[in-house]
Amino acid sequence: MEKNRAIPQGYMTVGELAKKMDTTVRTLQYYDKEGLLSPSSKSDGGRRLYTDKDKIKLYQILSLKSLGFSLDDIKNHLISLDTPDDVANVLTEQAAAIRKKIESLSKSLTEIEKLRKEVLQMKTVDFKKYADIIINLQMKNEFYWIIKHFDDKTLNHFRNHFDKNSGLIMMETITRLHDKAIQLEKIGVPPESDKGQSFAKEYWDMVMEFTGGDMSMLSKLMETVNFNIPCKEWKHIQEISNTFIEPALEAYFTTINYNPFEE
């Protein structure tokens, strides 16, 4: 009874605060030591005493910690809670941080689920391919699934010739050229025309850059096209664009008297 009377009204002990906020006394003692959350008062017997305001501040600290902030970061993010605007600003910042964390976790979850699907389809353990798939998922490369079909030589070529930035640029170029082919077909441009042949040269230059001029790699890439493409939208785009690309390239090779598959 004496012990309870020693606690002034409106205050709580470190043990009571820890229990209410589902943390530990040791954690609160550490926060006090680090200057993150000091008690508002002390009892005559030297016990740490906290208020409801301290409870809100502790909630702020624990929330930021759960979002991955370091203790130093948390110190810089702590705001005084003296006015309604102060409290509202704290909650606004935390809400924004939580949304950002949710988006990040949602993205990670999607990548994990896609990688799991690829792992099961591969039926072998290949951590290099796993890493390549993860990188391409992070790049938002919709062709990430192709990786499981490539042999080591083809993958080593891509690893040696493309980093994340150049890989993204290459994928954007491929997508742009396929869209361009569809547009040229749509407006009725003849593949053998000057405009069609200009496109064919641009497309073939891209292929040469993509393969490094290695025709054996080109053959491997063409084999990949025949795989069951999981993205129906891309398969549809590829089929339409190839209606223009194939005859345009044939005319281009005839003009320059070149056979890319001639040994």
Q: How far is CA 135 from the centre of its chain?
A: 9
Domain boundary at 78, 109, 125, which? 78
Q: pLDDT per residue over 1-55, tens digit each?
A: 444 556 788 899 999 999 999 999 999 999 999 888 989 998 877 888 999 989 9
Residue 233 domain flag: yes
Domain boundary at 60, 78, 96, which? 78
Same domain, 69 and 156: no
Residue 125 domain flag: no
The pLDDT mean for the chain works out to 83
Range of the domain at 12: 2-78
Same domain, 156 and 243: yes
CA dist 206 and 208 (Å) reads 5
CA dist 65 and 97 (Å) reads 11
Q: Give the total number of structural domains in the chain.
A: 2
Task: Measure Cα distances from 253 to 61, 182, 219, 261, 262 in Å.
Answer: 67, 21, 17, 11, 12
- pLDDT higher at 255 or 121: 255
pLDDT of 95 reads 85
How much is the average pLDDT of 136-164? 78
Q: pLDDT per residue over 189-238, tens digit each?
A: 999 999 999 999 999 999 888 888 777 777 666 665 555 555 566 667 77
Domain boundary at 51, 78, 105, which? 78
Q: pLDDT per residue over 70-116, tens digit each?
A: 888 788 767 666 778 877 887 788 788 888 888 888 988 888 898 88
Residue 234 domain flag: yes
Please answer whether residues 13 and 21 qualify as being in contact, where contact means their C-beta atoms are separated by less than 8 angstroms. Answer: no
